[in-house]
Chain A
Amino acid sequence: MIKLIELEWRKLDRKKVFGEVIIYWVILMFLPVFFLKVVFADNPAVHFGESYGAAIDLMLPIQMGFLLFGASLINHVFIEEYKNKTMALSFGYPLSRKRLVMVKVLFIALAVFFCSLISFVLAGITTYGLDQALEVIDGSPSAADLMTYVVRMIIHSFATALASLIPLFLFGIWKRAVIPTVVCAIFLMQFPNFLGLLRITLNPDLFYAILSFLGVASVYLSVKLVNRLGDL
């Protein structure tokens, strides 16, 4: 299985994917301070800068940006392969389609998980570093804050990895459409903000649990129905 996942990586245009990840990392590492210093600077109702504990609540949804990376990988690993027929090439190997889809899913999930994890680390270091210079967060991070951050970053990266697979079945395997896949990811990313606008309060943990469940359901349908969809 590991060998097959490695092959998925080698088949990709790796420079393109690396470039994309670096852009995500750079943007997301500066976003917390940007929000604190620029966007929320004149908004007394926002309290994310009151402590490191509060700042963590801001940093978590920002990292949902990796849903977009998941959509991009669905495009590279599934949609492009269907469109340029390299998927058919893979179907000709002594490997069942279900296993092949599972390998691709694992590749995407692992890539999103680890890239998100690294992004959390980079964002944490950058936010702390910039706070030393710009003083955007009151106080200093405690050991408890650090612990919370580490635990949340693992749980959050895991949830993001699963949620990034939500567009897989409908837009990746069935419709094979790039733009709806990306739009779906953007919608999911922005969903908490829409709820805020509608003044609906949803427990964040419940929200991430629902997204993770939807991601798993999408994977289940993809594996289950791959033989019935497309070039049969």
Chain B
Amino acid sequence: MNAIIQTNELTKTVKGKTIVKNVNLIVKKGEIYGLLGPNGAGKTTIMKMLTGLIIPTSGEIMLFGKKLAETSKEGLKRVGSIIEYPIFYDHLTAMENLRIHCEYLGFYDKRAMIQALDMVQLKGIGDKKVKDFSLGMKQRLGIARAAITKPELIVLDEPTNGLDPIGIKDMRDLIRTLNKEYGITFLLSSHILGEIEQVADRIGVIRNGQLADEVSLSDIRRQRTDYIELLTSNVQRSAFLLEHELQVSNLKIVKDNRIRIYDAGISAGQISKLLISQDIEIEEIQKHTSTLEDYFYHQIQGGDKVD
């Protein structure tokens, strides 16, 4: 396993309150890892510790196989980040901000700065002061800054905050491009499921400061079950007909009036046609897909992993 980030029992306590507790997180090289959790779950605190902004109360962070500590922050040269919201020296221009960032990292390449601005569609406004930027522009400039040195890891906390729908799509595309073309590993956080679902390879669910579960999106997609839900007053007879007339082998009677049919080859139309022909009243029939939302909801509510 080629772990870019590995934490061991990472814990952060502030004023006696434990915000992050015993988190053992592994982010592998080249993947897009999403931290998912409701507001206040501890996602930002984890990211702040991973980027050296705050010091863990206990536990260990390994970045690129080396321990990250106040006295050994060399690993951060290979990391780009935006935590909470992009922070800049507002009285300076976009280009001046990028230049200062690069110089702190011992990197200076004017062409790379121009390219970074191009990449986030901020071409030609490098001489504009950041205080005149909209939040969306600042967010994009933040991405440009995070990616300018082509780091091996980019940490983005709620990267689509403040972006309009087009900006959100652009951001998603940009993350995918940087991941695929430059092999940059991403650690993202969001409380919006759809966002994470569309870009992440793996997700870690954060609940009350703990890593409740880690799962790959492909696993969830595999687990994702489509089913048809039927509401009828005559459940027993309907189930009998479905089994014998349509050869349904995978169904479940959920409540007194509700049946779920999991067989992939059966359509709602076939079921309706059959039941109507047998004079069985259908109150409702609908196709359902269990999504990441179901999974996430289940995790946040404290349930076990979806089987």
Contact = CB atoms under 8 A, between A and B. Distances in A.
A231 B54 contact: yes
Contacts of A90: 104
A95 B73 contact: yes
Interface residues of B, number: 26
A89 interface: yes
Interface in B74-107: 74-77, 81, 83, 87-92, 96, 100, 103-105
Chain A interface residue number, banded: 20 to 34
A94 B73 contact: yes
Given A88-B87, A94-B76, A96-B71, A7 B100 contact: yes
A42 interface: no
Contacts of B105: 93-94
Nearest to A88: B53
Query: Of A11, A84, A91, A95, which is in contact with the most chain B CB atoms at under 10 Å from its CB?
Result: A91
A3 interface: yes
Contacts of A231: 53-54
B13 to A, nearest CB: 10
A11 B87 CA distance: 13
A96 B87 contact: no
A227 B55 CA distance: 8
Contacts of B89: 11, 86
A7 B55 contact: no
B103 A97 contact: no
A10 B52 CA distance: 23
Interface of A: 3, 7, 10-11, 13, 84-86, 88-98, 227, 231-232
Interface of B: 14, 51-55, 70-71, 73-77, 81, 83, 87-92, 96, 100, 103-105
6 contacts: A85-B87, A89-B87, A92-B52, A93-B104, A94-B75, A231-B53
